[in-house]
Structure 1
């Protein structure tokens, strides 16, 4: 790629172009196990698994899959929170030459059925707590094999003993009869299988490793085909960017769901590639998370703004818990407000920078330099070998510096296409360039700024209004914890701006106060005309606010007059 403005902003240690050996993705784990066999790879509620053992378990699972009829190219769905079985399953499936289908444990039966049917997966690995949902849809989904695992089986001895009693008391215990087809016990399969080293017979450049379903924040979810080369390229880009990290010595706080493309790459695949210890957090609970940080001293914390906000606002975060082990954090999945960044860095002493990505790009494409110059409000600069431009969304003509248009991206991490959707693929992928659907601009130094989703833009009285700009102002108010802005129908202006506000605990900021605050910082046509105060906002599991859901709620109400 020829010289681009952002190349001058790269740290001296980061090259603008990298080598990308064409290798299967699971060889990242094999390489780490050869270099750091006795180093902890996973820590789950205090129970550690080293790299040598993790690789053996993944080999065993690959062998088990082949014995129960899973063939190379078959799709195998995973339905679990962050737990050792997830990682063993993920790499085991890949070692077997099959394709991982990522499923969200929060999805209801209808959503799970849609993804299973679309992917053609006939095998699923699921945690026992979610087995009732799978049982209800297994026949319609065409599932031939259901492999059941349990959180309790993966806990340290004492916690493992108490776990069934706790589940029974909570009323969430699940009876599993694994002696009946098509149910298989995950642990029994592992014990019966052989730890035979596996090298899948695949073409990394063309064979799909993962089907990653889009979050559905802007419409129906689609299966993104990510090849082995796509995913290993993104890991190599991440390693180049995070050049100060010490291989075999880092501890990654894996609180972002690993079934999400961000957690999969930045927590799991990247963490394993550098021989890090992954602290697996199955559910984000602020008190438990703070205890984990205090006790286990993670050095890397990839997260979403809502996670950092929760830590900032916890009354004992700076008093009871020691958070100074955190060295660097990349925030993704949603815009990072400046106030959140500054407060978190003051609290921990670490560096928190905003990045950007999308499922179609494995996912990371842009990040601010972690230890060098960064820019407030910017998603940073493109990663090595990643080319970007801003175009007119209608004509495709390239925009000038600081002109707003649609961000398009080309690079080794860009997807192969959408699963079984050639028409949808053609709409967003052309000559290697993927259209992001995000409106953005680039400054003179090559830093990029996301203005908003193209579909989220509000047109009020002929003026274009981007929700993110209004939300950034609302976040500056000291009494606002969270904010989301959408356009709602207006009989006179076409659309008008509505803000959904979550107040900080113990404060009672009013609509009048927020209105005055916004008017001091925004053009009058951008100021929200309607405010609604809520206890929480609808979000994806990684903390991205679902504006689409808010719009759907509003569509059921009469237009403003």
Structure 2
């Protein structure tokens, strides 16, 4: 990915870092919609780079023109306000143009993972009731076959006429213009409460839910992210995450728009070329998840390019080892750990000004444009009573960035709330300074001999074994009632750990009750697109469980 320099004629960044309020004051007020946010930024810095994808660089002015032209083309193709429109493709600049153009029309962007199986993709197309689906020409035949199985099949169309294969942004704009009417009718502006996007959850516990967000919740989440990382005008924000995930769409892309920065992406993530890409594009900010940090930490240091300019990282969980890795080895001075879900983006984070508490997901989120509290957080027991500081309970949240509803599922929407508070299903604790700490998913709790054991805690301990790349623990039935513990292990490349060596490690680093009874080696762990382990698939894998070795059995009886 070539580096595109900021035009020389633009004023230099101020020597002093701007506060979020000062950043927002650079631009005219907007109307809490995506089109008005784009127009506000384009009015002040039309020639600044807004999006970089491969060889295509879009200024704010050019992107604004493309969005208006593409919106007219979509209307010409029959798209109307409120229509769900699917995007089944890897990341690209055309993807974000489509997102903004649909927002301009008042339609709903439904980004879907092209790597889904046919049945999974059919479920999401059927459930979303998409009226149209855009995909690369190479995927259109497959998407058409899948859409044909839906009760109301989506119209499938290629992305190439919108410039997907164009040599540069000017050529892409020419493609879009060729699809647009010569004298389009003026479009009414959408309202902040118009649904803007449906994000399908990762589906770690079954069928994914369609999380509906409004234009306002996307814009406000982006502005919270500006405050969270003290983003500056023309920050260069690199994402390696897919645009069907809140992290990439709300934080990286919309966050870049909110601060007047540059959004940088690629069609797919390459670990081997990551640091060279970061250096070539001049990226200054990156979002990570634990898996990404682990992957980069395991790569040969010969791939590292010290000329990179990344100075700010947001993500989680960020362990002490990961802090050390990125600060000392990779030269990134600021890492901010936070927490959110598809339903409740921008919930909490460690404050930019500090103190930064390693292992904490931080304090309740604030919005730079509003005085006083923004997100509200509670920790409650099973009866809904608030627990004392230091005690573990379920996290409940109220926030203005709350999702609108689960798509076409009023019962699940209602069930997600307790007296107006969103029930996250996550167990946390809060210290006396108001910092929160993630403990485990409620459904990742293993009940053994009357004790609650966190699967995430066991995964982390096993993951520190020098010969293991990663591990996942699940509950399996015990003949004594309740649960026993099974650990699925993935060895590091070139390593050959034995069952006995792993169990010895567990006994040295865990309380006896936490030591897994069963061990099994696997080539890889099943994961969501955002690299979360899908433990429900491990629990369903009868062959995997049958291969597991019972470490409490006599040697002759071991499988």
TM range (shorter): 0.7 to 0.9
- 1:557 CA drift (Å): 4.3
Which of residues 442, 449, 454 is equivalent to 2:442? 454
2:63 aligned residue: 54
Report the 3-state secondary structure (helix = DSSP H, G, I; strand = E; otherwise coil) of the residue aligned with 2:287: coil
Which of residues 220, 232, 236 is equivalent to 1:246? 232
1:264 aligned residue: 249
Aligned residue-pair number: 515
What is the TM-score of this pair, normalised by structure 1? 0.85
Question: In structure 2, how many angstroms separate the alpha carbons of the residues matched to 1:437 and 1:305?
Answer: 20
- 1:516 CA drift (Å): 2.7
> Greater shift after overlay, 513-522 or 144-153?
144-153
Unmatched segments (≥5 aa) in structure 2: 1-17, 367-373, 554-559
Question: In structure 2, how many angstroms separate the alpha carbons of the residues matched to 1:230 and 1:305?
Answer: 26
1:78 aligned residue: 87
In the alignment, is residue 237 of structure 1 matched against residue 246 of structure 2?
A: no
- 1:196 CA drift (Å): 6.8
Question: In structure 1, how many angstroms separate the alpha carbons of the residues matched to 2:492 and 2:464?
Answer: 12
> Contact 1:323 / 1:347 at 8 angstroms: preserved in 2?
no
In the alignment, is residue 328 of structure 1 matched against residue 315 of structure 2?
A: no
Structure-2 change in CA distance of 1:320 and 1:101 (3 Å): closer
> Contact 1:45 / 1:155 at 8 angstroms: preserved in 2?
no
Which of residues 373, 378, 392 is equivalent to 1:389? 378
Question: In structure 2, how many angstroms separate the alpha carbons of the residues matched to 1:493 and 1:348?
Answer: 48
> 1:153-184: CA deviations, max 9, x gaps?
546749xxxxxxxxxxxxxxxxxxxxxxxxxx
1:180 aligned residue: none
> Contact 2:87 / 2:110 at 8 angstroms: preserved in 1?
yes
> Contact 1:28 / 1:272 at 8 angstroms: preserved in 2?
yes
2:482 aligned residue: 494
Structure-2 change in CA distance of 1:140 and 1:155 (3 Å): closer
What is the TM-score of this pair, normalised by structure 2? 0.85
2:454 aligned residue: 466
2:408 aligned residue: 420
Q: Which has the higher contact order (CA 8 A, sep 6+)?
A: 1
Structure-2 change in CA distance of 1:530 and 1:195 (3 Å): farther
Question: In structure 1, how many angstroms separate the alpha carbons of the residues matched to 2:174 and 2:73?
Answer: 10
2:335 aligned residue: 352
1:181-220 matches, within 5 Å, as 188-193=175-180, 200-205=188-193, 207-220=194-207
1:290-439 matches, within 5 Å, as 290-317=275-302, 321-322=305-306, 324-332=308-316, 335-350=317-332, 351-361=334-344, 363-370=345-352, 372-384=354-366, 385-393=374-382, 395-439=383-427
Question: In structure 1, how many angstroms separate the alpha carbons of the residues matched to 2:186 and 2:78?
Answer: 16
Unmatched segments (≥5 aa) in structure 1: 1-11, 159-184
> Greater shift after overlay, 27-36 or 210-219?
27-36
Moved over 4 A (4+): 12-15, 18-22, 150-158, 185-189, 194-200, 554-561
Question: In structure 2, how many angstroms separate the alpha carbons of the residues matched to 1:246 and 1:195?
Answer: 38
> 1:290-313: CA deviations, max 9, x gaps?
321132231101122222212111
Question: In structure 1, how many angstroms separate the alpha carbons of the residues matched to 2:423 and 2:487?
Answer: 28
Question: In structure 2, how many angstroms separate the alpha carbons of the residues matched to 1:375 and 1:46?
Answer: 40
In the alignment, is residue 107 of structure 1 matched against residue 107 of structure 2?
A: no
Report the 3-state secondary structure (helix = DSSP H, G, I; strand = E; otherwise coil) of the residue aligned with 1:445: coil
> Contact 2:275 / 2:308 at 8 angstroms: preserved in 1?
no
- 1:56 CA drift (Å): 1.0
Structure-2 change in CA distance of 1:341 and 1:199 (3 Å): farther
> Contact 1:352 / 1:370 at 8 angstroms: preserved in 2?
no
Report the 3-state secondary structure (helix = DSSP H, G, I; strand = E; otherwise coil) of the residue aligned with 1:95: helix
- 1:504 CA drift (Å): 2.7
> Greater shift after overlay, 508-517 or 532-541?
508-517
Question: In structure 2, how many angstroms separate the alpha carbons of the residues matched to 1:195 and 1:467?
Answer: 60
2:212 aligned residue: 225
